[in-house]
Amino acid sequence: MAKSPDGRGYTCKPCSRARSRQWNIEHHERFKENQRAYWDRNNARVNARRRKRREDDPEFREQDKAQKREAYHANRDAELERQHEYRARPEFRSEQAARAAIWREDNRDHLRAYQLKRWYGITQEDYDAMLAAQDGVCAICGGPPRGRGKLNDVFVVDHDHNTGVIRGLLCSPCNTAVGQMDDDPERLRRAAVYLGVDRGEDALRIPADRLAKITWNRPR
What is the per-residue pLDDT across 12-36, written as a single tens digit (0 to 9) for each?
888 888 888 888 888 888 888 888 8
Distances in Å between the Cα of 88 and the Cα atoms of 75, 77, 97, 103, 104 are 20, 17, 13, 21, 22
Mean pLDDT of the chain: 87
- DSSP code, position 7: S
pLDDT one-digit tens code per residue, 104-153: 889 988 998 999 999 999 999 999 999 999 999 999 999 998 876 655 68
Average pLDDT of the residues in 82-87: 91
Q: Map out the domains of the chain with their CATH numbers.
A: 13-75 (no CATH), 121-197 (3.40.1800.10)
Contact of 117 with 111, CB cutoff 8 Å: no
CA-nearest of 161, 195, 196, 193 to 179 is 161
Sequence-distant (6+) residues with CB within 8 A of 191 are: 181
